[in-house]
């Protein structure tokens, strides 16, 4: 049984996953305190007309049947996936798309193929470039994407700061707009591994990690940690189907 508080699924221990901003600030404070600081920023910006604050720059769709989409065409289950790149956050849309396609090959060991993939690039106010629950709830709602959705941002205001955070159902009760999303900060290494790792957290709706050598769900994401056990696959397929995130392939 997983404690709800463990379901955030941070990618790395704080000692390894601290963002540049967190390292500069030193010791991490409680999350709700950091969120309060974000609220102030959101209030300051609230005079901006909402309709003018988010603009879709481009949208690219890669169908599941496209050979570039990895193993999606041969998979038992299809995972439609949304990728949101926030302009000015330091991410290349092409790199993000390529990494998501590599992640599809990792999830193929569970019979899951990512696709169709839709990448949307958004322009908006600077506050959207950092993960911060209050502001990111607004972004998640206004982007109006399907789920799961991966948001590629510059940094995180959360403390402790992690390179990536997964938000499932169990840890989104106070922020429902962010359910089934992943937030990945710029400079995150081993991006395909991180995408696959965080997607497993979301699909399984669990913050559980593994100590098994070579397992994708080790806390320390690394290229050599890529394997999922049959039990992990069963758990994520069952939960994700129940939550309507996975479709049986035709």
Instruction: Calculate the dihedral angle through the C-alpha atoms of 103, 202, 58, 101, rounding to the nearest 10 degrees.
Output: 10
22 or 204, CB closer to Zn ion?
204
Neighbours of 214 (CB within 10 A): 11
Least distance between Zn ion and beta carbon 7 (Å): 10
> In whole angstroms, what is the distance from residue 214 CA to residue 242 CA?
28
Q: For Zn ion, which is the closer residue by CB, 66 or 109?
A: 109
Selected binder of Zn ion within 9, 69, 70, 160 (CB under 5 A) = 9
Count residues near Zn ion (CB under 5 A).
1
Q: Cβ of residue 147: shortest distance to Zn ion, in angstroms?
A: 19
Burial of 127 (0-12, 13-18, 19+ CB in 10 A): buried
Q: Of 128 and 183, which CB lies nearer to Zn ion in the complex structure?
A: 183
Residues 71-110: x where in contact with Zn ion by CB under 5 A, - otherwise, as a string: ----------------------------------------
Tokens of 94: 């092409």
Q: Which stretch binds Zn ion (CB under 5 A): 2-10, 35-43, 127-135, 138-146?
A: 2-10
Stretch that binds Zn ion, among 7-15, 93-101, 116-124, 167-175 (CB under 5 A): 7-15
* Packed helices 133-143 and 31-44: angle between N→C axes, nearest 10 degrees: 60
Residue nearest to Zn ion (CB): 9
Contact in structure between 167 and 161 (CB atoms under 8 Å): no
Question: What is the nearest approach in angstroms of Zn ion to the Cβ of residue 218?
Answer: 8
User: Which are the contacts of 200, defined by CB distance < 8 A and separation ≥ 6?
Assistant: 107, 216, 217, 228, 232, 236
Nearer CB in complex with Zn ion: 72/196: 196
Q: Which stretch binds Zn ion (CB under 5 A): 4-12, 92-100, 139-147, 177-185?
A: 4-12
Element (H, E) at 60: strand 55-62
Least distance (Å) between residue 6 CB and Zn ion: 10
Expressed in angstroms, the distance from the first to the final Cα of the chain is 33
Is 148 one of the binding residues for Zn ion (CB under 5 A)?
no
Site residues, Zn ion (CB under 5 A): 9
């Amino acid at each position: 049984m997983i404690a709800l508080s463990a379901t955030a699924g941070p990618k790395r221990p704080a000692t390894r996953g601290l963002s540049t901003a967190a390292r500069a600030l030193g010791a991490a404070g409680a999350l709700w305190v950091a969120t309060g600081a974000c609220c102030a920023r959101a209030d300051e910006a609230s005079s901006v007309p909402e309709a003018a604050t988010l603009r879709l720059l481009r949208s690219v769709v890669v169908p599941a049947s496209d050979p570039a989409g990895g193993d999606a065409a041969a998979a038992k289950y299809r995972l439609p996936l949304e990728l949101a790149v926030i302009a000015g956050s330091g991410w290349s849309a092409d790199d993000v798309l390529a990494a998501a396609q590599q992640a599809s090959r990792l999830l193929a060991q569970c019979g899951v193929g990512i696709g169709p993939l839709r990448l949307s690039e958004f322009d908006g106010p600077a506050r959207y470039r950092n993960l911060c629950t209050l502001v990111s709830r607004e972004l998640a709602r206004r982007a109006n994407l399907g789920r799961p959705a991966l948001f590629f941002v510059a940094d995180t205001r959360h403390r402790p700061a992690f390179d990536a955070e997964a938000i499932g159902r169990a840890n989104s009760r106070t922020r429902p707009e962010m359910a089934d999303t992943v937030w990945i900060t710029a400079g995150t290494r081993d991006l395909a591994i991180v995408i696959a790792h965080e997607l497993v957290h979301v699909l399984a709706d669990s913050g559980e990690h593994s100590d098994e050598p070579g397992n994708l769900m080790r806390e320390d994401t690394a290229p050599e940690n890529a394997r999922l056990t049959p039990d992990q696959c069963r758990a994520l397929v069952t939960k994700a189907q129940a939550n309507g995130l996975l479709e049986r392939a035709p």
